[in-house]
Amino acid sequence: MTDTDYKSRRSAAVPSSRLSRMASLTGLAGRVAGNLVAEGSKHWLRGQRPAMSELLLSRKNLEQVADRLARMRGAAMKLGQLISMDSGALLPPEMAQILERLRDDAVIMPAAQLVSVLEENWGSDWDQRLAQFSFEPVAAASIGQVHKGRTHGGRELAIKIQYPGVRRSIDSDIDNVVSLLRLSGLLPRDMDIDPLVAEAKQQLRLETDYLHEQRQLLAYDAALKDFRHYDALALPGVDPDLSTEQLLCMDFLDGVSLTQAAAQRPELQHQIPALLLEMFFCELFQLRSVQTDPNPANYQYSLQQDQLILLDFGAVRHFPTEFVRHYHSAICAATDRNAAALAGALEALGFFSQRHDAANRKVVLEIFMEATEPLRTPGPYDFGGSDLARRIHERGMAISSDPDAWHTPPADVLFLHRKMGGLFMLAAQLGARVDVHAIFSHYREMP
């Protein structure tokens, strides 16, 4: 085993105690304040009087916030990802742009800290558990990083290794990050993200239990066998004897990124989004079990086997039958542009708060109907040439400009919209043309 290549990656020890993680954020708050004074002095010496918000949203401040969250990983980084993905339209564009970095930017553990995690889970003789282990991670994210290994029986494994201290610091991390963002002015004080914060904590508790994810993977795979295109998918098996709460050992499936696959086989730029969108409708309306994280890194493509590889199962979410029935009614009504039926379905979902005025409710209904444009457009919908995202953003700003009128949707709705929006974005990035109308029609008549 060697760590020669490990030095080529940006690494930093993950602060593992609550005190060290709090100190990391406290130090960041001090730097933000220091930058504010320094930038303000430069402007004042030139006779300028910039607004406080302009100083707080300086490029240097924003980059330091993103960099610190990336180094802390875990709940701090996950919250940044959730805020950027679910509330980007409500944030200053500079903040949304910097937090966007956190979706793919994670600093890896130093080798010594990595070995410490392995010893904690497999014992001091951990290296005897495997015939081979690669210290160079093949992927790094907010909660853990993935390494290749091989069992003595010759089974190639992808070993997901959780960063130390992540699980026991979930509540304090998220609370501290929210406080920092509010106190610094980087997050508007009157923006209500409490439901999102509560959901982020609950989601993190589940995602940091790798034995839970192992059960999710097995159950999800079993359910997905009812999907009519199941043979077009590849899901990894698990090694239960080697897996723990902090280590998840799965089959290593060799594939390339979706953009690489589309570049090598141009027809895949249309076929992959079509498969993902149909799988989403099947997950929701047929299986009532949805993998809700739309990060493209959760997928790869095997050009040899001609299969879409599914990689992450920590964010699989199960939906009650009644919820699915109401959401099915809502999406059908939106597709048909039936505002009255849509309003009734959204009411049943708990979408509106009591303080919504009629004008604001009308905008919400218009946004929902706008978002279903691909579903009602006959023939291939050109995601690459569509300005749908811009139109939805512009309508959304009519609500976000009035914080008192904004009401965060129920968590189940929020996660569904996150997934559907992510799939639409992926289709746009690949320049896909997909007959979403035909795909949705197959699931429309299902109970």
Q: What element of type H or E holds 160?
A: strand 156-162
Give the residues across from 233 on adjacent strands. 308
In 10 A of CB 368, how many CB atoms?
22
Distance in angstroms (rounded) separating the CA atoms of residues 320 and 363: 27
> Contact at 8 Å (CB) between 205 and 78?
no
- Residue where the block lists tokens 């409708």: 281
Three-state SS sequence of 62-124: HHHHHHHHHHHCHHHHHHHHHHHHHCHHHCCHHHHHHHHHHHCCCCECCHHHHHHHHHHHHCC
Q: Which of 349, 83, 74 is nearest to 196 (CA)?
A: 83
Is 67 known to be catalytic? Answer: no
SS3 377: coil
> Contact at 8 Å (CB) between 24 and 15?
yes
Distance in angstroms (rounded) separating the CA atoms of residues 380 and 241: 47
Q: Which of 399, 396, 310 is nearest to 353 (CA)?
A: 399
Given 173, 209, 239, 293, the catalytic residue: 293
SS3 303: coil
Tell me, what DSSP letter sits at residue 352? S
What does residue 381 show for φ and ψ, rounded to 5 degrees? Answer: -90, 130
What does the block give as tokens for 244? 């723990």
Which amino acid type is present at position 20? S
Q: Which of 168, 166, 195, 201 is nearest to 79 (CA)?
A: 201
DSSP-assigned states of every residue in 230-284 = GGGEE---B-TTT--SSEEEEE----B-HHHHHHHSTTHHHHHHHHHHHHHHIII
Q: Which residues are catalytic?
A: 293
